[in-house]
Amino acid sequence: MTRVVRLEHGQRPDFDNVAAVFADTKQTQRLLDTFGIEATLAPDELPIGSTLVLGPPSALTELVAVVDRLLGPGGCPWDQAQTHESLKPYLVEEAYEVLDAIDRRDENDLKEELGDVLLQPVLHGQISRFAGGFSTEEIARTLVEKLIRRHPHVFGDAEARTPEQVLVHWDAIKRQEKPDSSILNGIPKGMPALMRAQKVSKRAAKAGFEWPDLDAVLDKVIEEIAEIRRAETPEEQSAEFGDLLFTLVNVARWLGIDSEASLRTMVTRFEARFRAMEEAATKPLPELTLAEWDELWVAAKAKTASAS
């Protein structure tokens, strides 16, 4: 008689000292290995007295099946019409909705929005599979292999006791994998400009292209402001303004501030204050005097500060 055991997520199976353990899939086999249990892929006929281990029930597997149904015969015309290119704006949009849910500290919305983000790589993977290319399974397998490879302190013999030591290992492994690449490679050009600027400056600083201290960066900010004052043409003004923004991003890096998140939070704060001024104004906004604007602004700051 063969014993059948279903794995549960994160729980070690409760059997020991059995004659033979077989796994239903390679994924289950790898999962058993993390618990220190050696298992063989199940043959067509299992030996008497053996144990067959089934992988845990997975909503991710169900998600892939649902997407296959949408893309397959009799599925959804909209999904069937999508391509890697047509889905690009949705990935960006969904990612920003996740950020918004995080900023609002709304756990329910965050769970839903993360699901919308999760749908995107599954759609890309299964669209590719239907066209004869890679699949969602291959996306996940590539990620798993990279995570294991780049965490030798967890899956190998290396040691890393701090986040900084982990990053040293990560960067060293990346250089081994791509020895001839620039240190700036891998930073997407389509990233939001502030986020991209901070990543570029961080990598450049890591290579040694760095100011000696924060005061030197702040001095550079003053210098860039002076250069904006001296700029005459629109082209010069735009270039100097870009230099100033990039220098301010470096100030943020030195202070340990995420410049993109900082500006996003500030814009949200400004929106709240401006809406409060709109509600409090007793006449059309274009008719307000400078003194009235100042009075409304002070009141709006106090109101939004108490609300937060």
Say if 22 falls within a structural domain. yes
Say if 27 falls within a structural domain. yes
Say if 231 falls within a structural domain. yes
> For the ranges 24-33, 88-97, 150-159, which has the lowest average pLDDT?
24-33
Same domain, 135 and 69: yes
Which tokens belong to 87? 């889905």
Same domain, 139 and 88: yes
Give the closest residue to 265 by CA, choosing from 276, 257, 277. 257
Q: In this predicted model, what pLDDT tens digit does every residue of 105-133 receive, in sequence order? A: 999 999 999 999 999 999 999 999 999 99
Same domain, 110 and 143: yes
Say if 160 falls within a structural domain. no
Average pLDDT over residues 53-80: 89
Give the closest residue to 12 by CA, choosing from 27, 26, 33. 33
Burial class, 41, CB count within 10 angstroms (exposed 0-12 / middle 13-18 / buried 19+): exposed
Same domain, 64 and 127: yes
Same domain, 87 and 138: yes
Residue 255: the pLDDT is 98
Tell me the CA end-to-end span of the chain in Å, nearest whole number: 64
Same domain, 250 and 271: no
Residue 308: the pLDDT is 58
Same domain, 202 and 221: yes
Say if 172 falls within a structural domain. no
Whether the pLDDT of residue 62 is over 90: the answer is: no
If one counts every other C-beta atom within 10 angstroms of the C-beta of residue 253, the result is: 20
Query: Rounded to whole angstroms, how far apart are CA atoms 184 and 162?
Result: 24
Range of the domain at 268: 261-307
To 10 degrees, what angle do helices 290-307 and 259-280 make? Answer: 110
Say if 168 falls within a structural domain. no
Contact 99, 85 (CB under 8 A): no
Query: Rounded to whole angstroms, how far apart are CA atoms 47 and 18?
Result: 12
Same domain, 94 and 23: no
Say if 205 falls within a structural domain. yes
Q: In this predicted model, what pLDDT tens digit does every residue of 5-28 receive, in sequence order? A: 888 766 777 766 666 888 888 888
Same domain, 249 and 288: no
Last residue of a domain, one of 88, 115, 149: 149
Burial class, 179, CB count within 10 angstroms (exposed 0-12 / middle 13-18 / buried 19+): exposed
Same domain, 74 and 132: yes
Q: Give 211 or 17, the one with higher predicted confidence.
A: 211
Same domain, 198 and 228: yes
Query: Number of structural domains, the chain?
Result: 4
Say if 154 falls within a structural domain. no
CATH code for the domain of 109: 1.10.287.1080
Residue 246: the pLDDT is 98
